[in-house]
Structure 1
Amino acid sequence: MSAYALPTLSQAQTLRIEATSSSLDWNAVTLAKGHVFVAGPRWTGFSGPAVGILTKNKDVAPFPNVEWNAWKPGQDATHHFVSVNALHTAPDGTLWVVDTGTPSFGGAPVPGGAKLVRIDPATGHILRIYPLEPNIAQTGSYVDDIRFNDRHAYLTDAGRAALIVLDLETGQARRVLENHASTHAQPERPIVMEGHIVESHPNQPLLVNVDPLEVSPDGTWLYFGPMEGPWSRAPTALLDDPTVSPETLAAAIQPWADLPPIGGSAMDAEGTLYFTNLKENSLYQRDSSGQISKVMSDPRLHWADAPTLAADGRLWIPIAQLDRLPQFHQGHSLIKPPFLLVSIDLPTAAQQVRH
């Protein structure tokens, strides 16, 4: 039996549909200041805003405004969203937007496009823009997701296989562990959905380099891995120190968890990792001792993407159906509308949120 094919928990979990959309293929959600924010990348071809806020009617309104969501090819991208892949609420409650800057799947970032945008979620005021220069977000890069640890943020480059370490005070970013075994996808671990290997091109399995990441509750470890697994861990003290040599950092990488291909993850304050198992349309949890158990399975959890923990203990998950997009089926869409935004009550009551 594989490490992640364990019996379902006895507690009955409930899945609640929070919102639906036919115009936004959302792959990101976060909650801040009483609001729900969603995002979806441009390359999926849908017309919804790059970043949206759920209205009282459960519609998606552009956030922070229409202008930030109105970028067109050829325009300056410095103050527009080009293609957003992740949202995250920082420990101080601010909203962070990860803009890959790449309008097409696998394409190069446009000038000024790759950036992080820190926003006041209550007012929509832009607090700071962190440009990701061409030496950081390179041709072939896909800046994927972000986590925080004191004055540093860590990001994954799912395109060119590296971690990015950002000093939040100076704005300086560094690439580390480039093409290291821990950041590089392994072809022998394909993504399987609905009985078929997901392919980027005919007879070419979709390979996604380092993608999910989490920081341990005590801040001493960064956990990360390719979308297909396995996960490794790195000491944050070494990641944060720009004087540490690549060789020293590489020697400090340790195996952490042999997880399957996942859509996304979230970690609570106790160190429990919640992750979506793509093949099984399921949500699993891994507790701090390493014990893995299934929370629930549901056919609606199809390519359940990056989840987020709410203060009330529910896990919010955008359902992206990414493997059904035309890009992966020779131009034929297998999407089953509408896209769902769901929440699930977790087996442990009153989970504490970990940023």
Structure 2
Amino acid sequence: MKSDTMDWNAVALAAGQVFVGGPRWTGFSGPSVAIVTKSKALAPFPTAEWNDWKPGLDATHRFVNVNALHVGPDGSLWVVDTGSPQFGGTIVKNGAKLVRINPMTGAVIRVYPFGADVAPDGSYIDDIRINGAHAYLTDAGKGALLVVDIESGSVRRVLDDNPATTVRQDRPIVVEGETVRISDDSPLHVNVDPLEVSPDGRTLYFGPLEGPWSQVPTAALDDPSVSRTSLAALVKPWADLPPIGGSIMDERGRLYYSVLANDTIYCRTPSGKTIKLLTDHRLHWADAPFLTKDGRLWFPVAQLDRLPVFQHGVSKIQKPFIIMSLPINP
């Protein structure tokens, strides 16, 4: 699958359809969320209006900056909107939100708004996983987890500025032998970004993009009566993974992830063994993958480090953008 107009960093398969998403700040003209048509074209999803936000328009029912797609256990498509049109920019009013959509009909089931109390300026609500009655999201901007009660819609911000959700300055993101840097030439650092729920639903694994990962019992996350101090005490180390583009965990607890430094896909078994699945230099900043029921990994290739914001204003993007897939038992 290829595109010249959409720098996608998310892919999801639901209801027999392929959905893709990408952040607005990459500067490309494609929609924020699209469905791939039979002719391989990209059609705005769920509607054109949801994808036509511009400064000054109400963002309540429009995507400002989509960073993640996820398919829940019931087949719903969940869309994470950071609410900030620029990388590291200000969140617009009603912009930060979680949107639940019926992928078959395009009907929006519910919008979960994230107010300034849970997504303050500087936040970059990044990724999501569903666990029973709750959704967990990461804030890669300011470093925290969000816990959403799916039924009531209430949202809590937890582990704010905890060492487990905060990047370590001694772990740079290195791609093709070069440290990724922002406009002032300082290294790019990303707070808590990837997350996964264990197959039994009892544990959440999470960490900064640069690693390492930690773990915490989901029962404690779900309980609003657990104090900040008590919750922090339950956080334990899990895996010292390098900087990754994206991850997915299967029903056997195997973690699949893309390592940015060497364009390689790995599998980490529940015992901690690491298996290399594939090295392919087309997998340049392969981002959040999707695992199908027939055992194929789909990876959107975002090339994020080649964007002008990380290259002193000069684009080094190599079109077209692609999505690659591979069997998990090659």
Residue of structure 2 in register with 1:322 after alignment: 304
Q: Secondary structure at the match of 1:238?
A: helix
**Quick one: which amino acid aligns to residue 228 of structure 2?**
P
Q: For 2:210 and 2:149, locate their aligned partners in 1 and report how far apart those are by CA, in whole Å.
A: 28
Matched, 1:251 2:233: yes
The Cα of 1:149 is off from its aligned counterpart by 0.7
Residue of structure 2 in register with 1:111 after alignment: 93
> Following superposition, which runs of at least 4 residues in structure 1 exceed 2 angstroms of deviation?
none
Q: For 1:202 and 1:75, locate their aligned partners in 2 and report how far apart those are by CA, in whole Å.
A: 31
Q: Deviations over 1:266-295 (max 9, x none)?
A: 000000000000001010000111111111
**Quick one: which amino acid aligns to residue 235 of structure 2?**
I
Matched, 1:341 2:323: yes
Matched, 1:260 2:242: yes
Is the contact between residue 108 and residue 138 of structure 1 (CA under 8 Å) also seen in structure 2?
no
Residue of structure 1 in register with 2:213 after alignment: 231
**Quick one: which amino acid aligns to residue 46 of structure 2?**
P
Residue of structure 1 in register with 2:17 after alignment: 35
Q: For 1:180 and 1:249, locate their aligned partners in 2 and report how far apart those are by CA, in whole Å.
A: 10
- Name structure 2 gaps, 5 residues minimum: none
The Cα of 1:255 is off from its aligned counterpart by 0.4
Q: Deviations over 1:124-183 (max 9, x none)?
A: 001111111111111000000000111000000000100001100110001111111100
* Residue of structure 2 aligned with 1:180, choices 162, 182, 186: 162
**Quick one: which amino acid aligns to residue 143 of structure 1?**
I
Residue of structure 1 in register with 2:129 after alignment: 147
* Residue of structure 1 aligned with 2:109, choices 121, 127, 148: 127
Matched, 1:57 2:39: yes
Q: For 2:190 and 2:28, locate their aligned partners in 1 and report how far apart those are by CA, in whole Å.
A: 22
**Quick one: which amino acid aligns to residue 325 of structure 1?**
L
Q: TM-score, normalised by structure 1?
A: 0.92
* Residue of structure 2 aligned with 1:194, choices 176, 198, 206: 176
Q: For 1:178 and 1:298, locate their aligned partners in 2 and report how far apart those are by CA, in whole Å.
A: 37
Residue of structure 1 in register with 2:72 after alignment: 90
Residue of structure 2 in register with 1:271 after alignment: 253
Residue of structure 1 in register with 2:138 after alignment: 156
Q: TM-score, normalised by structure 2?
A: 0.99
Q: For 1:87 and 1:233, locate their aligned partners in 2 and report how far apart those are by CA, in whole Å.
A: 23
* Residue of structure 1 aligned with 2:57, choices 75, 84, 107: 75
Residue of structure 2 in register with 1:4 after alignment: none
- What percentage of residue pairs aligned between the two structures are identical? 61
The Cα of 1:201 is off from its aligned counterpart by 2.9
Residue of structure 2 in register with 1:208 after alignment: 190
**Quick one: which amino acid aligns to residue 31 of structure 1?**
L
Q: For 1:203 and 1:326, locate their aligned partners in 2 and report how far apart those are by CA, in whole Å.
A: 12
Q: Deviations over 1:287-340 (max 9, x none)?
A: 111111111100000000000101211000100000000001110000010000
Q: Secondary structure at the match of 1:200?
A: coil
Q: Secondary structure at the match of 2:182?
A: strand
Q: Secondary structure at the match of 2:46?
A: coil
Q: Which segment is superposed worse, 125-134 or 200-209? A: 200-209
Aligned alpha-carbon RMSD (Å):
0.7
The Cα of 1:203 is off from its aligned counterpart by 3.4
Q: For 1:220 and 1:23, locate their aligned partners in 2 and report how far apart those are by CA, in whole Å.
A: 40
Q: For 1:33 and 1:66, locate their aligned partners in 2 and report how far apart those are by CA, in whole Å.
A: 20
Residue of structure 1 in register with 2:313 after alignment: 331
Matched, 1:221 2:203: yes
Q: Secondary structure at the match of 1:199?
A: coil
Residue of structure 2 in register with 1:298 after alignment: 280
Residue of structure 1 in register with 2:118 after alignment: 136
Q: For 2:136 and 2:184, locate their aligned partners in 1 and report how far apart those are by CA, in whole Å.
A: 33
RCO higher in structure (CA 8 A, sep ≥6): 1
**Quick one: which amino acid aligns to residue 141 of structure 2?**
G
Q: For 2:36 and 2:324, locate their aligned partners in 1 and report how far apart those are by CA, in whole Å.
A: 13
